Amino acid sequence: MRHRSRFAILVALGLVAAACSTGRVAEADLPDPSNWAEVVAEAEGQTVNLFMWGGSSQINRFVDTVYAPRLKDDFDITLNRIPVADTVDAINTILSELQGGRLRGGSVDLVWINGENFLTLSQADAVLSGWATRIPNARLVDWDSPEINQDFGLAVNGAESPLGSAQFQFVYDSARIDVEELPGSYAELRDWIEAHPGRFTYPALPDFHGSRFVKQAFYELTGGVTPWLGEFDEKAYDAASIRLWEYLQGIGPFLWREGTTYPQSLADLNSLFANGEVDFTFTQLPAGIAADIDSGVLPATARPFVLDTGTIGDSHYLAIPTNAAHPHAAMVVANLVLEPDLQAAKLDPANGWGDGLAVSLSRLDAAQQSVIARVTSSFGEFSVPASLLEAVRLPEISAEYTLALERDWDRYVRQNRPLS
Amino acid sequence: MSARTDHSANALTVTSHNPGVWLRLAPAMLIVVPLMAMAVGLAVVQSFGIFPVTGRSNPSLEAYRTLISSSEFWRSLTFSAYIATISTALSLAIGVGVAVAFRTVFSTKRTSTFFLQLNLAIPHLVGALAMLLLLGQSGLLSRVTNAAGVTDGTIGFPALVFDSAGLAIIAEYVWKEVPFFAVVSLAILGTVAVDYESVAGTLGAGRIQRFRHVTIPLLLPALLPAAVAVFAFAFGTFEVPLLLGGTFPQALPVLAYRRFVNVDLAARPEAMAAGVVIIVVGLVAALAYQRLAGTLRARR
């Protein structure tokens, strides 16, 4: 009895705590990028808490040794990188703080973000908007391109500033598979999988790479991306997606572990690949896998390739929560990462990253363009040629499709329920 | 999760009539209770669909209704209950066995306790990773059997990790909890039990009779709360099934986590409802223990 009453008190305390939590920030002292000198002045001496996926030690090192010293020297800004296992952890921190009534002085100043997490923050109206198109280096960004101004089909509205770009690619081991054997489409991939039981798998959705793999299959099996470019059409999706689930259920018994379980992340898939348990993994980096080979994540004989039927490319961004403690300094960071020399450094896998450009080549001057060209020509066999990537690049589609694919994958593939 | 279950188990064994006990507990309670109250309180509030950030504030039981009507929830609930039950039973049986064996092997209790505390400092997270590296299809064991010609390649090695039977999860819990049960047992075996057993011996009881009628009844009052704590922990902990579990079925805490990190904020109340269910199961286990302990005491 005693314990039960104590529990009731706990619940009551929680209710009180949760009750005092709604409300919004006043617009007054938010940074105004059109008065950049003032933003920079205000940012001086501030510390920026940058929340970002921390799963790659090379990328972490790049941020700490390239961005951080530059910010310190040029702007007296301290960059405090906070690694998260998944960006969604940062999202949850932001939302929990807002709900707890922390409308100013939040612990997240800047977050490295992509489509589905941007959608979550937008749903909760938790990011500053309208600033990204007005920072000085926005002129280097092609804001007219849907690859920049739309994120998962959601209008960006200047609520996030691009950091880089990526494109989905397959990775195989040239020591195990001949180039001629590589599948050029999902149809050919099915033949390969059936001929090599247990040698293929993909990360369980909602993992980003798994989601990409399935979405591309959806494109190919339903007649291409074109019909899906507009707003979410549930009826058409329901009718067409059956072919996708038939395909995925069909290959299930021939996958690693007969498709009864799937790796949870790309890191898990990479270790299966490196251990020789499966023959394919994926990458998102336009510069390819040189950095992953250097760090020993992938074997030296690994090579990337793309399907003839296309792979999805997109951009990733930096966003500032509405309750950021240091939005001025955060904006300076978002502007700095667009500097042409830093974009070139980030593109170079020799610096550990190999991330695609966020700035548009045509908006750079001749000297900057030649620096980029020199980096690109150094990629070699560990990357897919930029012209080929460009040729097969497919766009993202509305976030609702991604959500629907994740929901139905959970039903028809993970739980293996019969198609109704 | 571990803090919650461990504390509730300790609180149950405290004799609450003694005010000095509460005084001594106060510093710990001052930290634990408010933090726990906030967390549990927020979880309960959100499970009723109250989530001001998204502009929803009408309390409803929708999340619980959705959860209860989904077959996956019941699959996860039974999967977690299965893992917790098997892990607890195996750890308890092996733990008592180890304690009895150690008592005869080592002359002092100190030596036995030393060996049993070897894995105490290793967190479950590290234990789970170790199981992954040891039992995985490309793990150490698989490499050894492959080299010895017992198994053929990675596929030839049985799927102990990421499997639907949760074998590696159970192995991790048993590895970690056996010493716990053994230490608890040794505390009794080394002191009280010795006298009673020798008395029973002089009265003509055989080894098995002594074990059955003297040792076990002496151990039971100490082992039961330990078993409740282990059960509640194994049922509610998240990192071990996340690391070692397969894609389907998912342990209930993993299901809660997946719902929590879903891009769709609407899934948040379901995550919290699943969390509340885990708390309730823990409380039910604790209450059941109290009833059982009461009956045991009454019988004596």
| Domains in chain B with CATH codes | 2-299 (1.10.3720.10)
In this predicted structure, what is the pLDDT of residue A102? 87
Average confidence (pLDDT) over A264-287:
92
Contacts of B259 (CB under 8 A, 6+ apart): B267, B268, B270, B271, B274
Band (B125; pLDDT cuts 50, 70, 90): very high
Higher pLDDT pick, B113 / A348: A348
Helix (H) or strand (E) holding A344: helix A340-347
Higher pLDDT pick, A313 / B210: A313
Average model confidence (pLDDT) across chain B: 85
Cβ-contact B89, B181 below 8 angstroms = no
Average confidence (pLDDT) over A145-161:
91
Q: What is the pLDDT of residues A1-25, one digit of tens each?
A: 334 444 444 444 344 344 334 334 4
**Same-domain status, A48 and A143:** yes
Is B165 within 8 Å of chain A by CB? Answer: no
**Same-domain status, A52 and A139:** yes
Q: How many pairs of residues across A and B have Cβ atoms under 8 Å apart?
A: 105
B109 pLDDT exceeds 50?
A: yes
Residue A259 CB-half CA count within 13 A: 19
Q: What is the pLDDT of residues A209-259, one digit of tens each?
A: 999 999 999 999 999 999 998 889 999 999 999 999 999 999 999 999 999
**Same-domain status, A279 and A347:** no
Q: Of A58-67, A329-338, A398-407, B229-238, which gets the smallest average pLDDT?
A: A398-407
Preferred mutation among B135, B248, B276 to probe A, highest tally of A CBs within 10 A: B248
CATH number at residue A52: 3.40.190.10
B199 pLDDT exceeds 60?
A: yes
Band (A44; pLDDT cuts 50, 70, 90): very high
Average model confidence (pLDDT) across chain A: 89
**Same-domain status, A345 and A268:** no
A381 pLDDT exceeds 50?
A: yes
Band (B52; pLDDT cuts 50, 70, 90): low
Higher pLDDT pick, A5 / B88: B88
Average confidence (pLDDT) over A52-72:
92
Band (A26; pLDDT cuts 50, 70, 90): very low
Average confidence (pLDDT) over A328-346:
97
Nearest to A279 by CA among B247, B154, B150, B158: B154
Q: Of A30-39, A175-184, B42-51, B194-203, which gets the smallest average pLDDT?
A: B194-203
Cβ-contact A99, A21 below 8 angstroms = yes
Percent of chain A whose predicted confidence (pLDDT) is above 90: 69
**Same-domain status, A190 and A296:** yes
ipTM: 0.79
Percent of chain B whose predicted confidence (pLDDT) is above 70: 90
Residue B84 CB-half CA count within 13 A: 25
Q: Is A302 helix (H, G, I), strand (E, B) or coil?
A: strand
Is B262 within 8 Å of chain A by CB? Answer: yes
**Same-domain status, A346 and A399:** no
> Do the chains contact at B42 and A204, CB–CB below 8 Å?
no
Q: What is the pLDDT of residues A93-118, one digit of tens each?
A: 898 888 778 888 999 999 999 887 89
Q: Of B132-136, B221-225, B253-257, which gets the smallest average pLDDT?
A: B221-225
* A157 is a domain residue: yes
Cβ-contact A263, A203 below 8 angstroms = yes
In this predicted structure, what is the pLDDT of residue A135? 97
Q: Of A120-129, A240-249, B96-105, which gets the smallest average pLDDT?
A: B96-105
Contacts of A14 (CB under 8 A, 6+ apart): B37, B38, B39, B40, B41, B42, B43, B44, B45
Q: Is A263 buried (19+), middle (13-18) or exposed (0-12) by CB count in 10 A?
A: buried
Band (A144; pLDDT cuts 50, 70, 90): very high
**Same-domain status, A58 and A83:** yes
Average confidence (pLDDT) over A284-293:
90
Q: Nearest-CA residue of chain B relative to A198?
A: B155
* β-strand partners of A162: A317
* A20 is a domain residue: no
Interface of B with A in 221-260 (CB under 8 A): 242, 246-248, 260
Nearest to A80 by CA among A113, A122, A111: A111
* A327 is a domain residue: yes
* A16 is a domain residue: no
Band (B12; pLDDT cuts 50, 70, 90): very low
Is B44 within 8 Å of chain A by CB? Answer: yes
Write the DSSP symbol of residue A204: P
Average confidence (pLDDT) over A271-297:
92
**Same-domain status, A303 and A341:** no
Q: Of A60-74, A94-108, B77-91, which gets the smallest average pLDDT?
A: A94-108
Band (A186; pLDDT cuts 50, 70, 90): very high
Is A93 within 8 Å of chain B by CB? Answer: no
Question: Alpha-carbon distance B223 to B88, whole Å?
Answer: 11
* A260 is a domain residue: yes
**Same-domain status, A302 and A322:** no
Tokens of B76: 């996860």
Band (A380; pLDDT cuts 50, 70, 90): confident
Nearest C-alpha of chain B: how many angstroms from A98?
7
* A52 is a domain residue: yes
**Same-domain status, A407 and A267:** yes
Range of the domain at A34: 25-163+315-380
Closest CB from B33, B159, B265 relative to A257: B159
* A386 is a domain residue: no
In this predicted structure, what is the pLDDT of residue A85? 78
* A9 is a domain residue: no
Count of domains forming chain A: 2
> Do the chains contact at A414 and B45, CB–CB below 8 Å?
no
**Same-domain status, A201 and A93:** no
Question: Alpha-carbon distance B12 to A65, whole Å?
Answer: 53
In this predicted structure, what is the pLDDT of residue B54? 59
Interface of A with B in 308-327 (CB under 8 A): none
**Same-domain status, A292 and A367:** no
Cβ-contact B273, B252 below 8 angstroms = no
Is A206 within 8 Å of chain B by CB? Answer: yes
Tokens of A293: 């080979």
